[in-house]
Amino acid sequence: MRKILLLTLIISLNVFSQSPTFSFPKHLKHSSIENTKTQNASTTSGLRDSSYSWNWDNAGLSWGSPTRAIFGYNTANKENSCENSTWNGSLWDNNSRVINYLFDGSYNYLSGENQNWNGSSWMNSYKTVNTYDASNNQVSSTRQNWNTGNLSWKDYYRTVNTFDASNNILTTTTETWNAGASTWDNFYKSTATYNGNNEYTSSLDQIWNTSANSWKNYSQSINFVYSGGDLLSYEYEMWNTASLTFEPSTKSTTTYDGNHHSLSYLYQSWSNSSNSWVDGSKTTYTYDSNGKQITLLRQSWNATASTWVNAYRQYDYYASSVTVGMNELTSQKKVIAYPNPFANELIIESISGDVSSNYVLSDDLGRIVFQGTTSDDKTILNTSALEKGFYTLTLINDKGTTKSQKLIR
């Protein structure tokens, strides 16, 4: 049981870690929340500067409080910081952050430190240290936890990769640190195969059997289907120790647009009773004109009601002339809207003697929820009936110039 729990923890940390850690086959990568700091658009235009996400509140049948991720970059446009915070109704509360990113001369990510907010200060949590070969393949990635006793980093686990002549990952071995023996002990191994196009075709996952001093089967990924280089589907099977066979467990199916961007991701589980695949969850994506992901919506299948129900959503923003928060709406900053995020009212204020402007407030689906003309002083909108989410305020002045500001409720 301990091994299964540790395995679950390691997989979760690998998938949801806020810093780039382990190297997975490119065909199995999917979008996930990352966090960084807003930069000057003149130097980081096109880089994601922030990401906002919500979990669905089943009790209230509405989206919960947003979580914000802010990204920072170095002069080479490599991510070098990320901060997470949660909206408490009036302020953003710190959650976690990643700092002290280090890169080598080839801009490979060497290390970064994760910290958690304890209510008054940042506390070290864990650190990732990576190594690379001459071909810039990630050979190892070590997770270290902070030891509050002696105030130092201590090894926890690491992954070690081997590669073929085409730089495809052949094996990934996870080892746990044995402090008593001062050795790395085998724990989990994944062995991959590829076709002539260097496309992932199978993965055999095994757990180390200490008593037998050998690897034992745990799961496998098979039946990979591709089209034009895009991974359309694959199946995941679990090892049955009684029958000594692999049995169907889950299936993943992805659709794409003409530019090879994922449009939807369907996750299904195998039902022995119906002898068929049963819907579990689905994720849909949208992109801007430059192919950058803008939205992500994850929904779960409600078998009783035979419908999809909301679970999680995410909005990504990139450095440009449009910013999130009480930043510049125009280079002259003549009109601002606040607070941001807003709750029951939104104030559109004209300053510096600016003339009135026409305004349109629309939701993330483009539906107009408010429109009118700003007054000489300020315009107050009653937004108590609006759903939580993202909104766009568009202002048109007397010269026909249009500017927009992103807002959050």
Whole-number Å distance between alpha carbons of 191 and 284: 30
| pLDDT score for 120 | 94
**Helix or strand (DSSP H, E) at 10:** helix 2-16
Whole-number Å distance between alpha carbons of 243 and 234: 23
Q: Do 84 and 68 form a contact (C-beta atoms < 8 A)?
A: yes
Tell me which residue has tokens 């496998």.
220
Q: For residue 287, which of 311, 325, 320, 256 has the smallest C-alpha distance?
A: 256
CA angle 279, 246, 184 (to 5 degrees): 105
Query: Which residues of the chain are in CATH 2.40.160 domains?
Result: 2-318
Task: Return the structure tokens found at 45.
Answer: 């235009």
| pLDDT score for 16 | 35
Which amino acid type is present at position 393?
A: L
Q: Indicate the fold that domain 335-408 takes in CATH.
A: Immunoglobulin-like (2.60.40)
Mean pLDDT by 10 residues, the chain (409 residues): 46 38 33 30 62 88 87 84 88 92 91 95 96 96 95 96 96 96 97 94 96 97 95 97 97 96 96 96 92 92 95 83 34 61 81 65 81 78 85 75 76
3-state secondary structure of 44: helix
| pLDDT score for 327 | 34
Q: Do 308 and 288 form a contact (C-beta atoms < 8 A)?
A: no
Q: What is the distance in angstroms between the CA of the first residue and the CA of the last residue of the chain?
A: 43
* Burial class, 400, CB count within 10 angstroms (exposed 0-12 / middle 13-18 / buried 19+): exposed
Q: What is the tens place of the pLDDT at every residue in 266-284?
A: 999 999 999 999 999 999 9
Q: For residue 369, which of 384, 349, 354, 352 has the smallest C-alpha distance?
A: 384
Query: Which residues of the chain are in CATH 2.60.40.3080 domains?
Result: 335-408
Whole-number Å distance between alpha carbons of 48 and 71: 7
Tell me which residue has tokens 């930069």.
39
What is the reported pTM? 0.74
Q: What is the tens place of the pLDDT at every residue in 225-239?
A: 999 999 999 999 999
Collect all residues with Cβ–Cβ distance below 8 Å to 60 and sequence separation of at least 6. Answer: none
CATH annotation of 2-318: 2.40.160
Q: Is the dihedral of CA 24, 26, 27, 29 positive or negative?
A: positive
Tell me which residue has tokens 């490119």.
26
